[in-house]
Structure 1
Amino acid sequence: MRTNLAIDPARSAALFVDLQEEHRKDCRYLVEGFDDLVLRVRRLQAAARAAGMPVFHSAYVVDPGNGGASPFHPMLEDGRSAFSDVGDPLSAICAEVGPAADEVLLIKTTASSLAEAKLPAMLKARDVEWLLIAGVWTEACIAATVKDAIGHGFRVLLVKDACGSGTAAMHQTAILNIANRLYGGAITDTDGACRLINGEAVEAWRVQGSVPLRFTYDNAASLFAEL
């Protein structure tokens, strides 16, 4: 349900997941609407930095030569990863949404940005309560990151229009799946997130009960719009 929400910017942080060049330039791995997503991320980053909020970044990079590929990871015939290969320039974070100054960039080989202890430890050292999350792909790295963030005791502020996937349907149904189990957290859009970062209160969607969003092929898009 939608309810009034305010967060303490001094106890919040922002995490931007896997905003890499391949998602707008590699035909095998394109994210629908990626350029618009990047513009929203830039707004979020600007708001977070202006508020003095810690900003973190992650990138999924696979290094098969150093044992960085899981047993069933898709590989090309020449031994390179089918995506996010360590030697591919398109694995780099998009420059306009990359780390600024001393912001942390985490290189990962699993879906979740919190799978290893490093980031949770840094967040807890800063007494972070709310973790704003945006990036790609919604059903994969975003979903895994959100799940681990909740498991570590962080409240997740998921920015629904600053995440993306291969198609709108993939993205929207993934957000709905996450929303059904976003315990302790909230969902908003870029406008709402920027207002929250600025210390304002907004109306945001928060889960109540057990799996309240029983979506179908026919109503998924409308339920997503109502979040």
Structure 2
Amino acid sequence: MSDRDSNYAGVYDRSVGFGERPALLMVDFAQAYFDPECPLYGGDGCANALSAGLELRRAARAAGVPVILTRVSYHPTGVDGGRFFEKAAPLEAFLPGRSTAEFADGLTPETDEVIVTKQYPSAFFGTSLAPMLTSMGCDSVLLTGLTTSGCVRASCVDAMSHGFRTLVVAEACGDRHSAPHEANLFDMNAKYADVVSLPETLAYLQRHACQTVKIVS
């Protein structure tokens, strides 16, 4: 056992488990992370996350679980991005008219999917996401997106802070480098959420679909 693991064992290893009424949250799967000419390009780490995210989306829709997509969009001056836009130069990729601000290939929003537009890292900050989830009766969030060390982590902390069971699907989150990806998965699992695998989440959604059918019938 590594020093890091032994330091956390018995301290930060509690699980909160899946909820009963989940929503799938897909954070910032934007073209910016898939365009080699864009400073935000994430290579295989982001491509693999999108593939897993799309698989989860299909399973969630089949199970009757609501799907929520986030996108980043700024005023042409970036003024609504405040200090975040001032600090992070690559956010210019999300200015109006930039192809990099569009959803990634394969993620065309369906008419029954809600799109949350944001200007800051967390999908919850300055948006109506938390009250919307509450009004929908959701008790948990299946969290996916880009990037693990940025907007996924920020959304994870806020989802937990708003009282939702938060499940971060490891394979459906991506970053430009494996080190921040793995470090942030480790830390989110320690303090804020359960980091779960794609197979166990797909199995959970399949069970959820069966339970839904049983209740309806």
**Is 1:141 matched with 2:151?**
yes
Separation of aligned partners in 1, 2:124 and 2:196: 22
User: What is the Cα deviation at residue 6 of structure 1?
Assistant: 5.0
**Contact preservation (8 Å) 1:56, 1:99:** no
Report if the CA contact (8 A) 2:71-2:117 is conserved: yes
Q: TM-score, normalised by structure 1?
A: 0.77
Q: CA RMSD in A?
A: 2.5
Deviations 1:134-187 (A, max 9, x none): 0011111011101111111000010011101111112111111212212xx421
Q: Residues 48 and 55 of structure 1 are in contact (CA less than 8 Å); yes or no, is this contact kept in structure 2?
A: yes
Total equivalences in the alignment: 194
Normalized per residue, which structure has more helix?
2
Q: Is the 8 A contact 2:57 2:67 kept in 1?
A: yes
Among 11, 29, 38, the alignment partner of 2:40 is 29
Q: Given the alignment, which residue of 190, 203, 224 partners 2:198?
A: 190
CA distance in 2 between counterparts of 1:66 and 1:161 reads 32
Please tell me the residue identity of whatever aligns with 1:186. Answer: D
Structure 2: how far apart are the matches of 1:122 and 1:50? 21
Aligned match for 1:105, one of 115, 120, 141:
115
What pairs up with 1:202-221 in 2 under 5 angstroms? none
> What is the CA–CA distance in structure 2 between the aligned matches of 1:2 and 1:181, rounded to whole Å?
9
CA apart distance, 1:122:
1.0
Match of 1:199 in 2: 207
Structure 1 regions of 5+ residues with no counterpart? Answer: 201-227
Question: 2:55 matched to 1:47?
Answer: no
Going from structure 1 to structure 2, the CA distance change for 1:41 and 1:22 (only over 3 Å counts) comes to same
CA contact (8 A) 1:136 1:163 kept: yes
Alignment match, 2:163: 153
Query: Aligned-pair distance for 1:66?
Result: 6.5
What is the 5 A alignment of 1:47-196? Answer: 47-65=59-77, 67-71=79-83, 73-74=85-86, 82-182=92-192, 185-196=193-204
